[in-house]
Every structure is written in C-alpha cells, then in structure tokens.
Amino acid sequence: MAPNGVLSNGNGSGQEVDVDILIIGAGPTGLGAAKRLHQIDGPSWMIIDSNEIPGGLASTDITPEGFLYDVGGHVIFSHYKYFDDCINEALPNETDWYQHQRVSYVRYKDLWVPYPFQNNISMLPKEDQVICLEGMIDAALEARVANTKPKDFDEWILRNNGEGLANIFMRPYNYKVWAVPTTKMQCQWLGERVAAPNVKLVTKNVILNKTAGNWGPNATFRFPAHGGTGNIWISVAKTIPREKQRFGSHGRVKSVDAPNKRVHLEDGTTIKYEKLISTMAVDSLVEAMHDDSLIKLSRGLFYSTTHVIGVGVRGSRPERIGDKCWLYFPEDNCPFYRATIFSNYSPNNQPQATKKLPTQQLADGSKPDSTEPTAGPYWSIMLEVSESSMKPVNVQTMLPDCIAGLVATQMLKPTDEIVSTYHRAFDHGYPTPTLEREGVLTQLLPKLYDMGILSRGRFGSWRYEVGNQDHSFMLGVEAADHIVNGAAELTLNYPDFVNTRVNSERRLVDGAQFFKSMKGIRVEGMPLRAKMDG
C-alpha cells in the first residue's frame, strides 16, 4: 500500500486500504470534511461515494434535450467565510456566477402575493385581510399573557400568525412541503426559516396598501453560470487530491463493521479506519451496520420523498413570468408546493435558441399539429412535490398532474409547446423535524460517536435547520476539525448561534487552525466537546 492510505496498484477485489479517517459520501458534507483534511495535511484520509459524479443532494441532471435541473431548489447564500473561500477557489471568476435579487411570490386566489405571505396580507382580498388581521390581533393579545412555549409547530403558527393566516396559508402550505400535519412537527428548528409577522407593520401596510420588502438570508443569492448547482461540487472536488477519491462502483458501501472499524465495499475492497465521517442517511448507515438496536432507534426519524419535475417550454419567457425566481403554492389546484423558473437562474440552464427540438405535447395535454424539430428560444420550470406515508401521491400521473397544475395556476397557457419533461424522485428529500426527532438524535448520534463514527450532513445528522449547502459543507469541515483538533462542532450543536452571525473564524488561506481555546467564539454556557479518543 502507498503512503497516506492510497492504493498502490489500483482498485480490485479483496484488497485492504488503511486510513486514519474515512469519509462516506461526496456531497457538500463529505467534500467539506475532505477539504478541511486536505488543508490540515495531517491524518491520512479517503473519500468514497457510489456515484461517479460528486454532489449528492446538491447535484444537477441534464435531460437529453439539454435542460438542466437541480435536485430541488438550491441557491448559494452563506453564513460562513470558510464556505465562501472554498466556493470562490473552486469557481474563481466573475463569469462563473450570476448574481440575483430574490423575486418570490405566493400564488393565492389567482393573485401573486409577495413573499413572505404573512407580511403582505395587504395584497389579499378585503375579506381575507379582515380574517388575517383579526387572528393576528387575537394572537398578539394572547402572547402577552402566555407563560409556556409552543408545544408544536401548529401552536407556534397560531401564536405568531393567528387562526386566519394559519388556515389560509401556513397549515396548507407546510403540509404540502413537509408531507406531515403541522401538529406533528416541533418548532425548535424555525429560527430564520419562517418569518413571524409584525402586527403593526402589517396593519400599516394594509391601510396604506403597501407591500413589505425582502426578508430572510436568501434575499440575494448567486448561481453558477454553467452546469447548475452540481458544477459547484464537481469543481470543489477538483481542488482535493484525485488519488484520495474513490467514486462510482468502486466506492459503493456494502456494510459497515463498526466494532472492527472496517467498511466493506461492493467490489470486495475493505477499508480500515480509525475514525469514520459518514454522510449517508443515518437510517441507512445503521442498516449497513446491521445493528438492531440502532435500527430500531432510527425508526423514530421521519422523512419525506421529494419529486423533482422539470418542464421545458418553447418560446420567449412570458411577461407574466418575468424575473420571478421561486414561487409557492399553498392551494390544492396543483400538486407542487414550489416552482422555480430555472431558466431565469442562468441562460445556460436550457438549450441555445438555435437548437431544434420537436414539440412533445401542448400544455393542455393534446398532441401538436407537427412534431417537426424547430428552433427555440426556450425557458424552463422546475417543480417540487412531497410524498410520505401521511401524504401519498400517484407517481404514475404526477407529471401530467403537474402540467395541468401549471395551467391551473396560469404558469403555462394551454397552447404552450412542451419540448422536454423530467421527473426524478429522491427518496430522502426532507429530514422532517417531528416531535420525536430530538429524542432519537440525542441518543443515536452519541451512540455512533462512541463507536468512532461522526454521522453528519442533511440526513446524517437529520437537522433541517442546518441543512442548506453552506451548513452541510461546514458540518463536514467541523467534523474533521473536531477529530484532528478537538474543535467544537458549532453548526451541529448550536444552530441558532451560527445562523445569527457571520462565522469568520476559519479561513481557507490561514492554514490549519486550532480551536481548543475557542478564542473569539465563546458562547455563555457552551461546553467544548472533548477531543475524540484515538
């Protein structure tokens, strides 16, 4: 075997590889861990993934016609300077990016209501304004005397928004997104995710017929000029040594032997490790470990499946669509909860106008008069539909149902020419913050940790509140730093802290940094987790 855990004679059955740290998964979390370990340049390490192309749940597909679709609605905004450094290193040129101001609306009663809905009820019909304002006033009065915290997400909605907004928007929309009722979700995850309305401002805007401005951390964002979101992670992977990457069929995990600290791959290779950073879904990880007690414990975690549907359309982008970015749909006249005008993010997300494509169907489902390939221009819409045991869907009719929903919501006209369609289901789409979640995670993650396994990432640590690309990347960075330097994993353990500040302690240009003293980032009452035993 070559130094630093690298195979000296290629991939092959029956070989054994020995590394200090093994990383499973080459999505943002795994690449974050690899990037930090490469920077520290201490322990030997390897990153494996069953896919040939890195990116995980932040990857991009290309249809045969040349339309690009991400795995759901991803945009780049950041809480971390280290994340920015790594992304800028991977795609360093100004021409690598498009900068956008978020233009986002909620479709309600054939109106486009600016996002966030709860701050813009001035746009609603008068009768709905009254219902919402009455509920908000009642909620504000009750909040003044409340001496307990909300017991679930539904109670949080009622206390912050009132009954009117809850019934008109918050309950139906969140059910469409999460595929579980709001009464079955906890509310600790909310933070900057959900806007709580300002009753005085809302009332003022209703009287003056004004709308509220942009809210939230993604009011401005950037998007890759080429290759979709997936190109970010392909480019990041290129900045770490190729010889430490094992992707594709030679990187597929068959089983994890935690007691003996070995991972067995499908091709017969065994990788021996001292520490394991796993970004697999934690329920899949414990299945691979064949640990019945952990499998039983993981069954308390709930997730939804995300269906991503893409529709490529011939013609110039309509004026009714304009420069909209992503749009929300709480009503039941369409199966999707969100639509992204993906062609607005980059002109390279769809074929060039000179490319000739046949019309597959019209938006009303009828056949075109001619299927002769003709030129563009083209534009595209990306849709998301959730599915769970509490919200079943008809997969066979989903695509036509979604196209019918686009017509019903006036996103498409019945005569629009559809030249490309795309549908892919991602089994683990959203890690649901159910009432039971923390009870499971506070047992499951420490049990794995005691075995030398750090389960991290969107589904590795199962915390949606730190499940964006920047969070996911830093979960990997901080896991690597924790193993090597004993650093605190702030993103995992203190989501509210990292989400309310600019996290600038780590920088890519500074070299390996030690955080044992926690200088500059002390939080009152926050313990520093001890370095893992070797």
| pLDDT-based confidence at residue 246 (cuts at 50, 70, 90) | very high
379-427 pLDDT tens trace: 999 999 999 999 999 999 999 999 999 999 999 999 999 999 999 999 9
197 vs 178, residue with greater confidence: 178
Tell me how far apart the 2 most distant CA atoms of the chain are, in Å: 75
Instruction: Say which residue the tokens 């001890």 belong to.
Output: 530
- This model's pTM is above 0.85: yes
Q: Rounded mean pLDDT of the chain?
A: 89
**HSE toward the beta carbon, residue 300, CA cutoff 13 A:** 14
How high is the pLDDT of residue 531? Answer: 35
Determine contact, residues 396/425, Cβ cutoff 8 Å. Answer: no
How high is the pLDDT of residue 193? Answer: 47
138-151 pLDDT tens trace: 988 887 787 888 88
- Say if residue 439's pLDDT is above 80: yes
| CA pair distance 62, 211, nearest whole angstrom | 38
| CA pair distance 55, 58, nearest whole angstrom | 5
Give residue 481's Cα distance to chain centre.
23
Determine contact, residues 164/136, Cβ cutoff 8 Å. Answer: yes
510-530 pLDDT tens trace: 544 444 334 444 444 443 333
Architecture of domain 303-431: 2-Layer Sandwich (3.30)
Strand pairing partners for 328?
106, 338
Fold observed for domain 16-94+225-302+434-512: FAD/NAD(P)-binding domain (3.50.50)
Question: What is the spatial order of strands in the sheet that 245-247 belongs to?
Answer: 245-247, 45-49, 21-24, 275-278, 453-455
Token pair belonging to 418: 């559809």
Please state the domain extents for the chain. Answer: 16-94+225-302+434-512, 131-208, 303-431
Is the sign of the CA dihedral 497, 502, 507, 510 positive or negative? negative
Token pair belonging to 526: 């926050």
How high is the pLDDT of residue 200? Answer: 80
| pLDDT-based confidence at residue 214 (cuts at 50, 70, 90) | low
By residue count, the chain amounts to 534
How high is the pLDDT of residue 209? Answer: 78
How high is the pLDDT of residue 14? Answer: 74
Give yes or no for a cis peptide into 116 (omega within 30° of 0): yes
Neighbours of 305 (CB within 10 A): 19
| pLDDT-based confidence at residue 364 (cuts at 50, 70, 90) | very high
138 sits in which H/E element: helix 126-145
